[in-house]
Structures are given as C-alpha cells and as structure tokens.
C-alpha cells in the first residue's frame, strides 16, 4: 500500500527539502567537516611527528655488525698466512672460503642499504598515512559527521566529539597500515 503524501501532517515540500538536506549533509558537508576539524587541530603536523617517532622507535633489528666489519678475508689471511704459503692453503679451499666471506659481507652491506632505503621511504610516506586517516574517518563515520553537520552540531555523536581519538583509530586501521611501514 502506497503512502499518500497528502495525508501526512507535514507538506511534501518539507519532506523533499529534508531529504535534500540529508543528502547535502551526507555528500558535501560531512567530508568537509572532517577536513576542517583535522586542519583546526593541526592533525597533519602532529600525526607526521608521531608516525616518524613510531618508525624511528620501531626499528626492530639493530644494525648488523661483526668484529670483522670492513676487513676482507684476504686482509685477514694476509696478516696470518705469509703470502708465499697462500698457494698451499688455496689447495685446501682457502680461496673459496675467502670468496664466500667477501660475498657475505657484500650481501650484508646490501641488506643494510635496503633497510636504510626502506626506512627513508617510510619516513617520506608519513604524510600519506596521516591523510589516509582523515579519508578513512570521513568514509567510515560519514553518517556521524553528516548528523553533526546537518544539525549544526546540536547533535554530536561520539566519533565527532572525540575527533582526535577517532583519527588515531583510523590511523591504526588496516586501511592505512600499508603507508609508512618500516617492516617492508
């Protein structure tokens, strides 16, 4: 059975205007409210500093170091084995051992460079992670912000009232986890 608009205590124009206002609040005003509140509290600066601090503190592995860093096998063996005895030791595989040690040290230096590059890229992505938090909050709590914007903030849901906490939860969400990640 269809609802007859003429029998309602409110005119149809008021219902249509209310529907338009709900649409405008949801589509336009809610994302704008999130953006403005984020700018108002200085979210980008505060968040980037926090993400950078977290990244610097989260370096899970200390730099790899050994007592023989920078010393090649040939340098070490040159001090222990006289050069005229080297061919004798090479017959028993010393040359291959030296090559393996040198390759291992080269690989270690390469891994260290890769870790430094990954950390540099993660630090550069801190702004993207913070922007992701604002976008995620705008998308996930849009009805809350639409309600706050549509009622001129007379009704303020918890996610709007505790805006900074909501942003922090969005920052830690899986949607934003791919940005500024020190693990890779």
Terminal-to-terminal C-alpha distance of the chain: 59
Distance CA(35)–CA(139), nearest Å, equals: 12
Sequence ranges of the domains in the chain: 12-176
- Quote the pTM value: 0.64
Nearest 5°: the CA angle 116, 125, 106 is 15
Distance CA(48)–CA(53), nearest Å, equals: 8
Reported as a pLDDT band with limits 50, 70 and 90, residue 167 is very high
Whether residue 61 is predicted with pLDDT greater than 90 in this model: the reply is: no
Residue from 63, 73, 178, 58 nearest 125 by CA:
178
User: Residues 107-150: pLDDT tens digits?
Assistant: 888 888 888 887 777 777 778 888 889 999 999 999 999 999 99
Q: Which residue has the higher pLDDT, 136 or 183?
A: 136
């Amino acid at each position: 059975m269809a609802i007859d608009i003429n029998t309602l205590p409110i005119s149809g124009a008021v219902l249509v205007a209310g529907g338009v206002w709900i649409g405008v609040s949801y589509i336009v005003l809610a994302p704008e409210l999130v953006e403005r509140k984020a700018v108002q509290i200085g979210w980008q600066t505060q968040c980037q500093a926090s993400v950078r601090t977290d990244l610097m503190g989260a370096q899970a592995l200390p730099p790899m170091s050994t007592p023989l860093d920078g010393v090649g096998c040939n340098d070490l063996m040159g001090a222990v084995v006289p050069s005229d005895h080297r061919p004798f030791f090479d017959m028993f595989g010393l040359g291959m051992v030296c090559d393996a040690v040198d390759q291992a040290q080269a690989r270690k230096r390469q891994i260290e460079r890769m870790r430094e590059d990954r950390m540099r890229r993660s630090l550069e992505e801190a702004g993207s992670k913070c922007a992701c938090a604002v976008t995620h909050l705008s998308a996930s709590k849009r009805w809350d912000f639409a309600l706050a914007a549509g009622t001129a903030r007379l009704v303020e849901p918890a996610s709007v009232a505790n805006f900074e906490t909501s942003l922090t939860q969005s920052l830690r969400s899986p949607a934003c986890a791919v940005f500024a990640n020190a693990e890779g």
